[in-house]
């Protein structure tokens, strides 16, 4: 069975709006982190907004990383989009949690949610996430859209924590059992 993995850039206070994060120099450590994810990826669920942002930039990118990223199957959750130009892609039919649960049963590499905060939050709240891979930026932004749903706590078990030379920390978690 495929794993469902959320990968996000976040602040230390859990805000996942990339435009609010401080400028940090992209370095070889961050590049290796993203290369590892791409090598492990077999599919990418996206919300409409992230799909439109990615579709507006990734097809014109060149190089091995861009070629592999562009070739990933994309599953887009949208009620307003009728056609998808960035291929391979298809619109998700039916409720997202059921569609993603079905994707997990399929074959291929793991399923990565890149950004798509609304998708990540929905799948977290339905208990479908197997791993969280976070690049935590060295700042607290104070306000914005949090990664984690506020409705109920989510227990996490740390798998790894790797500080990078630019101040970013790569954290990997698996959802755990709530402590009694």
pTM of the predicted model as reported, rounded to 2 decimal places: 0.91
* 144 or 180, higher pLDDT: 144
Confidence at 63, pLDDT banded by 50, 70, 90: very high
pLDDT of residue 102: 94
Confidence of residue 177 (pLDDT cuts 50, 70, 90): low
Whether residue 56 lies inside any domain: the answer is yes
pLDDT, position 54: 94
The count of structural domains within the chain is: 1
Residue 163 lies in a domain: yes
Q: What is the pLDDT of residue 180?
A: 40
Does residue 169 form part of some domain?
A: yes
pLDDT band at 26 (very low <50, low <70, confident <90, very high): confident
35: nearest Cα among 74, 61, 9, 65 = 65
User: Domain for residue 64, yes or no?
Assistant: yes
CB 175 within 8 A of CB 155: yes
- Domain assignment of residue 180, yes or no: no
Sheet containing 89-91, strands listed edge to edge, beginning at the edge strand earlier in sequence: 89-91, 74-77, 41-47, 110-114, 4-11, 131-137, 169-175, 156-163
- Inform me whether the pLDDT recorded for 178 exceeds 60: no
Identify whether 24 is part of a domain.
Answer: yes
Average pLDDT over residues 56-77: 96
Asked if residue 165 belongs to a domain, the reply is yes
- For strands 4-11 and 131-137, give the pairing: parallel
pLDDT, averaged across the chain: 91
Q: Name the E strands within the chain.
A: 4-11, 41-47, 74-77, 89-91, 110-114, 131-137, 156-163, 169-175
Does residue 179 register a pLDDT over 70?
Answer: no
Q: Where does residue 153 rank: exposed (0-12), middle (13-18), buried (19+ CB within 10 A)?
A: exposed
Q: At 79, which CATH number?
A: 3.40.430.10
pLDDT digits (tens, 9 = 90+) for 111-165: 999 989 999 999 998 989 999 999 999 999 888 999 987 777 888 999 999 999 9
Three-state DSSP state, 28: helix
Handedness of CA 135, 121, 14, 172 (dihedral sign): negative
Residue range of the domain that includes 76: 4-175
* Strand 89-91 to 74-77 pairing: parallel
End-to-end CA distance of the chain: 29
């Amino acid at each position: 069975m495929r794993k469902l993995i959320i990968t996000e850039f976040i602040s230390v206070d859990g805000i996942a709006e990339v435009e609010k994060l401080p400028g940090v120099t992209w370095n070889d450590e961050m590049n290796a982190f993203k290369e590892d994810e791409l090598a492990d990826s077999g599919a990418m669920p996206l919300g409409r907004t992230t799909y439109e942002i990615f579709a507006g930039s990734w097809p014109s990118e060149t190089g091995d990383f861009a070629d592999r990223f562009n070739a990933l199957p994309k599953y887009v959750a949208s009620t307003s989009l009728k056609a998808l130009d960035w291929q391979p892609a298809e619109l998700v039919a039916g409720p997202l949690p059921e569609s993603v649960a079905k994707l997990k049963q399929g074959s291929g590499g793991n399923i990565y949610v890149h950004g798509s905060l609304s998708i990540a939050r929905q799948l977290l709240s339905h208990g479908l996430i197997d791993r969280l891979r976070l690049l935590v930026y060295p700042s607290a932004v104070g306000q914005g859209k949090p990664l984690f749903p506020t409705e109920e706590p989510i227990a996490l078990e740390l798998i790894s924590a790797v500080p990078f030379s630019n101040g970013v920390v790569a954290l990997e978690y698996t959802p755990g059992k709530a402590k009694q």
